C-alpha cells in the first residue's frame, strides 16, 4: 500500500481551493451505492504511481449532488484530472478497469495535457 491516499472532500468550496493550487488534482467522483466505483486496488495503484505529484481526492455525488452540473459528471465512477484550476481529462470507469488501466490513462493525461470542453469545468 502506498504512503499516499485519496482523501474525502465534502464540499465544492474545498474542491475549488484545492484546484487553485499549483499541484494537479485528481478527483474520483463516486456514488455511495456504486458497486463498481474505483476499487481500493486501483486507488492504491494510482497513489503509488502518482501520489507524490498529485492531490488525490474523492467526492460522493450523493453527498455533493452539484458535482454533475458543475463538472459534467454524467456517470460514476468518473475520474477528473485538473491542472491550473481547469479540467484537463475525464475517465469513466467500468467493471473491467483495473489499477494498470487507470495508471496508464493518468500517465498519458499528464504527458499530453489538453482541456476538456468548457462545460466540464
The predicted-structure confidence for 14-29, as pLDDT tens digits, reads as follows 999 998 888 999 998 8
110 located within any domain: yes
- What integer is the mean pLDDT of 76-95? 82
Res 113 pLDDT > 70: no
Q: What is the pTM (predicted TM-score) of this model?
A: 0.84
Domain containing residue 63: 7-120
- What integer is the mean pLDDT of 78-87? 85
Render 80-119 in DSSP notation, one character per residue.
EEEETTEEEEEEE--TT--HHHHHHHHHHHHHS--PPPGG
61 located within any domain: yes
Res 38 pLDDT > 60: no
Run of H or E residues at 25: strand 25-30
113 located within any domain: yes
2 located within any domain: no
CATH number at residue 98: 3.40.30.10
Q: Are 57 and 15 in contact (CB under 8 A)?
A: yes
Count of domains forming the chain? 1
112 located within any domain: yes
53 located within any domain: yes
65 located within any domain: yes
Cell numbers linked to 48: 503509488
86 located within any domain: yes
| Contacts for 30 with CB less than 8 Å, ≥ 6 apart | 37, 38, 58, 59, 60, 61, 76, 77
Amino acid at each position: 500500500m502506498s504512503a499516499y491516499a485519496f482523501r474525502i472532500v465534502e464540499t465544492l468550496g474545498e474542491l475549488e481551493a484545492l484546484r487553485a493550487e499549483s499541484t494537479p488534482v485528481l478527483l474520483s467522483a463516486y456514488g455511495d451505492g456504486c458497486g463498481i466505483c474505483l476499487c481500493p486496488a486501483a486507488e492504491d495503484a494510482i497513489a503509488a504511481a502518482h501520489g507524490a505529484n498529485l492531490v488525490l481526492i474523492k467526492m460522493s455525488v450523493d453527498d455533493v449532488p452539484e458535482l454533475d452540473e458543475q463538472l459534467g459528471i454524467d456517470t460514476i465512477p468518473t475520474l477528473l484530472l485538473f491542472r491550473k484550476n481547469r479540467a484537463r481529462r475525464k475517465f469513466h470507469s467500468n467493471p473491467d478497469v483495473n489499477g494498470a488501466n487507470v495508471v496508464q490513462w493518468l500517465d498519458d493525461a499528464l504527458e499530453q495535457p489538453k482541456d476538456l470542453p468548457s462545460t466540464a469545468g
